[in-house]
Structure 1
Amino acid sequence: MARNDLRPVVRLRSTADTGYTYVTRKNRRSTPDRLVLRKYDPVVGRHVDFREER
C-alpha cells in the first residue's frame, strides 16, 4: 500500500457554518468512518465539532 492510501489527507469543516477548515491525516484502518473532532473555530470564538468532508 502506498503512503497516501493508508493515511489520506482529509479536510475538517466546521459545523458552525463559518467555512473554517482544518487539514489533517487519518488512518483508514483504525477509523474507517468519517472523522469528527472538537476543535477551536476562531470565527465563532469557541470550540465546535469539525466533521470530515469528502
Structure 2
Amino acid sequence: MSQVINDRKMYIAGRQLDPTQPLHGGNVEYYGMYSDNHDAVEQRVAELNAGGCA
C-alpha cells in the first residue's frame, strides 16, 4: 500500500481484513513501518505471504 507523505511516496505492508467490506483504515492490518523503499516493502510482503515473518 502506498501514500504520499511530505511529498514522498511511502509504502507499507498491509492486508485487507475483510475483502467483502470497503478498503479503509479500519479494515487494514499493517506490518512494519512506512518506507520509501518499495522493493524492501515488497520483499516483506513476500515473506509474510510465505509465512516467514511474525
TM-score normalised by L of structure 1: 0.28
Q: If each structure's helix is expressed as a fraction of its own residues, which one has the higher value?
A: 2
TM-score normalised by L of structure 2: 0.28
Flag the structure with more relative contact order, 1 or 2, with Cα contacts below 8 A and sequence separation at least 6. Answer: 1
Q: If each structure's strand is expressed as a fraction of its own residues, which one has the higher value?
A: 1
